[in-house]
Amino acid sequence: GQNIDQPTEMTATEGAIVQINCTYQTSGFNGLFWYQQHAGEAPTFLSYNVLDGLEEKGRFSSFLSRSKGYSYLLLKELQMKDSASYLCASRGGATNKLIFGTGTLLAVQP
């Protein structure tokens, strides 16, 4: 089976750094994805990890530890426009499905 846990809400200050954690239990693990979703909009792809380590993309980085079933999304130099829901998703299981967590709602304050 597959199960994903991430915090429901987080608050951070403009200009700061925030780390959003995600733990997963996925047999036959085949990749961890992060998406950003602004209110009333569709999710947009942020990053993808299939091997252990850190992937950096500008202000956004994502880390994966397959042995620990753990990933995090790191957002640097936070901007007000980063206020959104961040969705963690893992692919795997007997049928290689992509399953999403319920998302972490990030509020960036001035």
Query: Of the candidates 101, 104, 106, 108, which one interacts with another protein according to CB under 8 A?
Result: 101
**CB closer to another protein out of 22 and 78:** 22
Q: Residue 81 gets which letter from DSSP?
A: G
Pick the closer one to another protein by CB: 13 or 44. 44
Q: How far apart are CA 94 and CA 10, in angstroms?
A: 33
Position among 29, 48, 60, 70 found at the interface with another protein (CB under 8 A): 48
* Cβ–Cβ under 8 Å, residues 6 and 103: yes
Work out the angle at residue 29's Cα, subtended by the Cα atoms of residues 24 and 30, and round it to the nearest 5 degrees: 120
Is 58 in contact with 48 (CB distance < 8 Å)?
A: no
Q: Which residues, including other chains, have CB under 8 Å from residue 14's CB and lie 6 or more apart? A: 78, 79, 80, 108, 109, 110
State which of residues 21, 23, 70, 99 lies at the interface with another protein (CB under 8 A).
Answer: 99
Q: Does 38 contact another protein by CB under 8 A? A: no
Residue of the chain from 20, 78, 87, 108 that contacts another protein (CB under 8 A): 87
Residue 79 lies near another protein (rule: CB under 8 A): no
Residues in contact with another protein, counted by CB under 8 A, come to a total of 22
Q: Which residues bind another protein (CB under 8 A)?
A: 30-31, 33, 35, 41-45, 48, 87, 89, 91, 95-103
